[in-house]
Amino acid sequence: MKIRSLFLVLFLSFLFFNCADEKGNYYTPKSADSFEFKVDQFADLAILRYQIPGWEELTLKEKELVYYLTQAGLAGRDMIWDQKYRYNLEIRSALENIYRNFSGDRNSDEWNAFEVYIKRVWFSNGIHHHYSNDKMKPGFSKEYFDSLLASSNTALEGNPYDVIFNDVDSKMVDKRKGVDNVLESAVNFYGPNITMDDVTKFYSSKTQPDPTKPLSYGLNSKLVKENGVVKEIVYSENGLYSEAIKEIIKWINKAVDVAENEPQGDALRILAEYYRTGDLKTWDDYCVAWTKATEGNIDYINGFIEVYNDPIGLRGSYENIVQINDFDMSRKMSVLSENAQWFEDNTTLMEEHKKANVVGVSYKTVNVAGEAGDASPSTPIGVNLPNANWIRASVGSKSVSLGNIKNAYNNAGSSGRLEEFVNDEEELELEMKYGALAGDMHTALHEVIGHASGQLMPGVGTPSETLKTYRSTMEEGRADLLALYYVYNSKIQELGLVEDWRAVGKASYDGYIRNGMMTQLIRLNLGDDVEQAHMRNRKWVSEWVYEKGLADNVIEKVSRDGKTYFNINDYDKLRELFGQLLRETQRIKSEGDYDAAEKLVEGYGVKVDQDLHAEILKRNEKFKGAAYAGFVNPELVPVYNQENKLIDIEVRYVDDFAYQMLKYSEEFGFLD
């Protein structure tokens, strides 16, 4: 653990932050139309920045609300680091101390390898890759690392030192079939001696106060075993992560004072109470209040929410996203929400699995103003919350598309890789002309229609209970299938969302199959299985429709000049296959059919054709573009007049990834 005196901290902070402009840590666009999105690139990662459209149109009170909500989010930053792995914070502290204080040769190959390693750790909020979950191997030697520790007066010993170089805890989330997924996963939701059987027994002994409104047991706690007794340690003001949570509560309370309206303020008050107590009933009360609070220009996501990092889908990772409404795009896309019942009624689901009343599906395009936790640096592009099925059914949900994030992605890339993997000019032209719109439509349909659709049969447990390790990939695949079924449908043109539904639908189908069958494999090392939930679902969806369409040559596997391509010959029949798989996927969820989920995911979504994978990797070698991208956040800076009165909040665009990561650790290192 790094130890620094208060004097040293203050001195370094003064030196570091007061030299910011001279060191070029900020970026000023030359003009409104010349914004540069790319900040850095290393390993398989690119760092981008995003704009905040409409910021100057906000009132000072609205800007203040955004500022407090972003501060609340950043206050919890350390929690995601600790959630992901028990030694992450200690390792980060040592790496950052080296980075700040090493005075030796910073141009050597081994220093460059160290710099890449620390940037990868920053990007992933820990030492395991943010997507593959594999522990990242440093490109420098133990001996060199020892010299860095010594020369920078940094201490790192025992297990935190050893795990950087050994094979222990090699997988943050281990979803392999046939192993104890809890015991074999390094994620810090569970003590290192907790087994799957321990978890099952612990929660099977709990009863729900109201079975019609089941609490999300395990969502905000760590399960440990002490003297043979299994118990929960809850995240709360006086529990686990108390120092960070106290800061979150402080900023949320400030946000309450500048809330745009009463429902928004009420939801924030309940959120603060939830953080104070850690009570899951209060969390549900908050989710209901938050879902109903749909008015205003500002919204946010804050809490222990998504369960992808838990091998059995119970425990939520901390995340925060602060959003400003994009009024023009939201008006255009709200039509999906207004017609949600039509989509439900006309899908391929069995009648008993359809919702009679799809309620409260609120969809907006928003622009992100700040992110933290598991949403940063790597961010989603669309979100649908809350996750509790009973709240979705009785109250509704909010779906958002992160417009400025998608815009940054779209403007930071090149078409070289696309040209390599499309089958012909027609496919390329469709993608170039309609690909961005097809992506927007898929995301909107996935979030608004997909996640809102379907219902569980009476007496069937929650997907976490019934589908277990397959819960997340089955849910994402189900939402994808709803989107795929309707993106190639005249209804979206009838609603005024597109001008040529066939062209948009074809571009969407081409892109989905190309990605699911081939291009997403560039994210894996040769020999790896597919483990990430979204990658799995894209693969099992694509592989299933490919196999079922072989007899009619719906999707043709083309070999040309030693390269493989997949060409869709019949889009109408492919849509029928998507509809068939959608029906079965919903049946699996509605009836809690674990065996069928296992057969689908393991049979189509996990194993990779090694020859094809080797070919894809070889073809991808010539491209310099990164496989993944993430973001630095704009910096929101309060501006005061001579009377110390707040007069504005200024947006600064960061130009150095390391600068922001180090500054965050200094300002928000409440658990370090």
CA pair distance 209, 225, nearest whole angstrom: 25
Q: Averaged over 15-35, what is the pLDDT?
A: 67
Res 17: pLDDT: 40
Q: Are strands 45-49 and 628-632 parallel, antiparallel or unpaired?
A: parallel
pLDDT digits (tens, 9 = 90+) for 2-22: 333 333 333 333 334 444 344
pLDDT digits (tens, 9 = 90+) for 78-125: 999 999 999 999 999 999 999 999 999 999 999 999 999 999 999 999
Contact, 379 vs 634, CB < 8 A?
no
Cis peptide preceding 377, ω within 30 of 0: yes
Q: What is the sign, positive or negative, of the torsion defined by CA atoms of 29, 30, 32, 37?
A: negative
Res 363: pLDDT: 82
Instruction: Please work out, in degrees rounded to the nearest 5, the angle formed at the alpha carbon of residue 199 by the alpha carbons of 196 and 204.
Output: 125
pLDDT digits (tens, 9 = 90+) for 577-620: 999 999 999 999 999 999 999 999 999 999 999 999 999 999 99
CA pair distance 584, 350, nearest whole angstrom: 9
Q: What is the DSSP string of 585-617?
A: HHHHHHHT-HHHHHHHHHHHTT---HHHHHHHH
Tokens read off for 180: 């104890």
Quickly count: other Cβ atoms within 10 Å of residue 8's Cβ.
11
Quickly count: other Cβ atoms within 10 Å of residue 178's Cβ.
6
pLDDT band for 324, please (50, 70, 90 cuts). very high
pTM score: 0.84
Q: Which amino acid is at 61?
A: K
Q: Averaged over 43-59, what is the pLDDT?
A: 94
pLDDT digits (tens, 9 = 90+) for 498-520: 999 999 999 999 999 999 999 99
- Going by the DSSP 8-state scheme, the letter that residue 139 receives in this structure is S
Q: Calculate Rg over the CA atoms of the chain.
A: 25
> Mean pLDDT across the chain, nearest whole number?
93
CA pair distance 640, 419, nearest whole angstrom: 51
CA pair distance 245, 407, nearest whole angstrom: 33
CA pair distance 66, 68, nearest whole angstrom: 6
Tokens read off for 518: 């081939």
pLDDT digits (tens, 9 = 90+) for 420-458: 999 999 999 999 999 989 998 999 999 989 999 999 999
Res 332: pLDDT: 75
Res 359: pLDDT: 78
Res 1: pLDDT: 33
24 Rama sector, left if φ>0, alpha if ψ -120 to 50, beta otherwise: left
Contact, 653 vs 634, CB < 8 A?
yes
Place of tokens 């996640």: 451
Phi, psi of 489 (to 5 degrees): -155, 140
Q: Averaged over 563-575, what is the pLDDT?
A: 98
CA pair distance 450, 337, nearest whole angstrom: 11
Q: What is the DSSP string of 329-370?
A: HHHHHHHHHHTHHHHHHTSSS-GGGS-S----EEEEEEEEEE
Res 360: pLDDT: 63
CA pair distance 74, 25, nearest whole angstrom: 19
Res 166: pLDDT: 98
Q: Averaged over 542-555, what is the pLDDT?
A: 98
CA pair distance 85, 415, nearest whole angstrom: 37
